[in-house]
Amino acid sequence: MTDAPAWRAWVRFPFDNWPSRIYLLLVAAAVAYYAIDSTVTRPDASFASIYMLILTAPISLLATLKLVGVVIGALVNATVIGALAHLGRARARA
């Protein structure tokens, strides 16, 4: 019996548990709100981009392109959330 490659385990963390899925859903809602708000109102009329930047901080604050930073930040944060959820489940079973 062979184990899954290490990269598959890391890819599984952001999508294979409910805390990470809920986090990614919140980020998607913030990005949708930003997209709707920036098309309906003037670009400087609201703080719509703040929600998605705060949800994906600190990685998104380091990127130069806003949406690229949000995507990378969301995936990194979802991976951390998934790893912590996996660790919590493993400790609860032990």
Give mean pLDDT, residues 1-19: 75
pLDDT at 81 over 50: yes
Q: Is residue 66 part of a domain?
A: yes
User: Is residue 19 packed enough to be buried (19+ CB in 10 Å), middle (13-18) or exposed (0-12)?
Assistant: middle
Compute φ and ψ for 42, nearest 5 degrees.
-70, 150
Q: Is residue 19 part of a domain?
A: yes
Give mean pLDDT, residues 63-79: 90
User: Across the chain, what does the average pLDDT equal?
Assistant: 85
Boundaries of domain holding 30: 15-93
Least confident interval from 38-42, 52-56, 70-74: 38-42
Q: Is residue 89 part of a domain?
A: yes
Q: Is residue 8 part of a domain?
A: no
Q: Is residue 54 part of a domain?
A: yes
pLDDT at 94 over 80: no
Predicted local distance difference test score (pLDDT) of residue 29: 96
Question: Looking at the 3D structure of the chain, how many domains does it have?
Answer: 1
Q: Is residue 33 part of a domain?
A: yes
